[in-house]
Homo-oligomer: A and B are copies of this chain.
Amino acid sequence: MLAEKSLLMIPGPTPIPPRVAAAMTRPMINHRGEAFSALLEEVTTKLKKVFRTEQPVYIFPGAGSGGWEAALVNTLNPGDAVLSVSIGDFGDRWCRVAAKLGFHVERLRFEPGQAADPDRIAEKLAEDRERRIKAVLIQHNETSTGVTNDVRAIARAVRSHGALLMVDSVSGLGALPLEMDAWDLDVVLTGAQKALMCPPGLSIIAFSERARAAAEQSTMPRFYWDLKAAESSRQKWQTPYTPAISLLYALREALQMLEEETLEGAWERHRLLGAMCRAGVQAMGLRLLAEDERTASNSVTAVVSPVDPKRLRKVARERFGVQLAGGQGELADRIFRIGHLGYVAPGDVLQALAATEMALAVCGYDVQVGKAVAAAQEVWLRWDPGQGR
């Protein structure tokens, strides 16, 4: 049934708004010309508002996870120790990246479904009396478990130690509140293919003054992700090598849309999407993976599956036209995930819940058809903008 018009409810890549898709078809330009410089300056200026920072923001052609490497190789030195705080698969991956690049990694790991405890981080750092730990790595929003960390509290815990705080906000930025400057974060990285409503292929990263000072001293060998080269080009609104021009057209249009909605409006919308999704899931008698609903993510909801999640997703996709995400790593057979970030409206969540409910019924789970959507409707109907803040 019109398979192409499948509703993509995974936590990235996310659906592309028509005007963003259309923007990519603009004619190619010379990346050494004035038109490109104007484009880069405009996009960067708009991005700073989304990062809530006065610091420079850099855009590399690449996957969001390239930012993991960029954060580490620019600010640290060979053999430096870092503290990896992981609450799920993406935290574990960043940890492995740091180890692969030769850093000494100390780990603080929380169970899937838990948020990171700022006090535990403070304790761990307090043990490091010799200040060997140079950076703390953390996810703003752990895409694999649907849990959002309290980055503000973590930043306070890290600040007294002096390590750089590096925040992966790939599935957070633009959907969930984040204040780079006010919270005093050192590195914030994201991709364009999540809340920023663009196709994948841009790695976006901001460095604080402290992080840039560290970069001046860093002796890590690097080329592609080199901040110094990026900064020296940025001063002329150029890039060290050919930029992904069509994706920058897309990003400009998407950021324009975000400005029209307002960033606070987008945060508010994601609060509503998250609340609706959780209400629907719970109305089906299902359990969230997030242990504490207060830390449940408003960009992706992870649900403990009462049936084989692979079969559930297949039925939802093939019969009811909605694409759900599976679990990652050890969670592959335990959960499914509903992504609700980026170009997603409340009606999409209703449709996703309806499809999930029907797919559960097909898989033999006892549901009363209609309950999930009704519960989400109740949330939407009674939504008082600002209540979730």
Instruction: Show the binding face of A for B, using Cβ within 8 Å.
Output: 4-6, 8, 10, 12-16, 21-22, 24-25, 27-33, 60-66, 68-69, 97, 100-102, 191, 193, 199-201, 221-226, 241-247, 250, 323, 325-326
Contact = CB atoms under 8 A, between A and B. Distances in A.
A193 B201 CA distance: 14
A92 to B, nearest CB: 14
A13 B63 CA distance: 20
A241 B12 CA distance: 11
Contact of A200 (B32, B100, B245, B326): B245
A325 B32 CA distance: 9
A211 B6 CA distance: 42
Contacts of A246: 16, 21, 24, 199-201, 246-247, 250
Contacts of A242: 12-13, 63-65, 191, 193, 200
A350 to B, nearest CB: 20
A16 to B, nearest CB: 5
Contacts of A247: 199, 201, 244, 246-247
Contacts of A101: 221-223
Given A63-B61, A63-B243, A241-B65, A222 B100 contact: yes
A13 B25 contact: no
A285 B201 CA distance: 45
Contacts of A8: 27-30
A364 B210 CA distance: 53
Contacts of A61: 61-63, 66, 200-201
B12 A199 contact: no
Contact of A241 (B24, B31, B64): B64
B245 A13 contact: yes
Nearest to A247: B201
Nearest to A101: B221
A184 B223 CA distance: 28
Contacts of A68: 223
Nearest to A201: B244
Among A13, A65, A101, max chain B CB count under 10 A is at A13
Nearest to A66: B224
B22 A25 contact: yes
A100 B102 CA distance: 17
A13 to B, nearest CB: 5
Nearest to A93: B241
A244 B246 CA distance: 12
The 7 closest A-B pairs by CB, nearest first: A201-B244, A199-B246, A21-B25, A63-B241, A65-B241, A200-B242, A102-B221
Contact of A223 (B12, B24, B69, B250): B69
Contacts of A102: 221
Contact of A25 (B10, B25, B221): B25
